[in-house]
Amino acid sequence: MADAFVDTRIGEVKKYLEAMHHVLASGYISRKDVLLAAREVLASIGESHSAFNSVEMLKANGVNAILLDLGRLPRRRRPGPSTSASTTASRGSTSTTA
């Protein structure tokens, strides 16, 4: 089960990194900023895997736990104070017990 979870994340990250490659090639954004974002995306795989495993261990021990995966929440467009620019939620995962 954990393998499928990580495989899904890796597939998503590949798409993000390919998109970042195209953005970097455009020359409109600094290389440093793109590479910092790529590092965060790669780190998120380990963080979400850890949260997934923690929830599974809690469940195995009878705890009513759920995985709240913030990286998988749909992006919502919200108008800003003076523009209609889109914003996104923070990425990452956390575990919680009920």
Tokens, residue 22? 């195209």
The strand pair at 65-69 and 93-97 is best described as: antiparallel
pTM value is 0.59
The span from the CA of 43 to the CA of 40, in Å, is 5
Span 2-19, average pLDDT: 86
pLDDT tens string 62-91: 999 998 877 665 555 555 555 433 333 334
Report whether pLDDT(45) > 60: yes
Parse the chain into domains and list their residue ranges: 2-97
